[in-house]
Chain A
């Protein structure tokens, strides 16, 4: 059961971040040329692999209870951040992530930036691609490491992330446009729910709690987090609609 969650969480989190990184790389590649952009992508991928390769074995040396406490706290903080943003977007308080708009903005910025060629490389394109992939990927690396080390299977979590990388990369090459139809907010909501659930479960275990019923109770925590999250979306959506209605002047009163 945990293995399925592990792969699913790593896959979804990676897919969301890859879609965002792809938008940046596409904009840079289309306007500034592909060579420097792709070198930036490759360098960032290697840097992320080094982070995972160095930190992964180091994490396995930490006692499991301490690891669960620290990882639980980190996952819970990340999860609540993802969930908070997803709920704000689902209820209308925050604009939905618009990959097309971001792509157009990145295109414009990349067109307007000056070109500095050194050693045959466009360093603006390289830096932008590198930053896009590395920064979006760092959170994925954290999720892969923390999930994997706590469950004792970093390769399984890495497989989920790699599957997302391959799928998003292939679709990006085929479509050659930002993946605006990917239901990003739904995916972020799902990842937020999973990170929060595992953060609660492992954090409490690391703090010395024994869950009644053992590992099966993770499903109960998941159901509780889902239920409260949907409740918050419904409540905030109604509140937002009421606020919009109150702010809109009444029409047709003169008829």
Chain B
């Protein structure tokens, strides 16, 4: 059991890193982009804005913790 937990923890740390909201935000932004694109609405602008908003938010949370 300890090995399974360790294995899962390793991959979580490796992929998600120390701010899970960034990973979750990327997945949500891609889902919204896909939904807009499939509805034939231009969505190329969404990912750049979403990515950098997620970065700014993550930085703000880290620096405001002190």
Contact = CB atoms under 8 A, between A and B. Distances in A.
Interface of A: 69, 72-74, 76-77, 80-81, 83-84, 87-88, 93, 138-139, 196, 199-200, 203-204, 206-212, 217, 221, 224-225, 228-229, 232, 236, 239-240
B59 A87 contact: yes
A84 B19 contact: yes
Contact of B55 (A84, A138, A207, A209): A84
Contacts of A196: 51, 55
Contacts of A210: 44
Nearest to A221: B48
6 contacts: A69-B34, A73-B30, A80-B22, A84-B19, A204-B46, A208-B33
A224 B48 contact: yes
Contacts, number: 98
A93 B65 CA distance: 11
Given A77-B26, A80-B51, A209 B63 contact: no
B63 A199 contact: no
A48 to B, nearest CB: 14
A225 B38 contact: no
Nearest to B58: A84
B44 A209 contact: yes
A206 B27 CA distance: 12
Given A84-B62, A87-B55, A203-B47, 7 more contacts: A84-B58, A207-B31, A209-B37, A209-B43, A217-B44, A221-B48, A228-B55
A226 to B, nearest CB: 11
Interface string B3-45: 0000000000011111100110011001101100110000110
A88 B34 contact: no
Contacts of A81: 17-19, 22
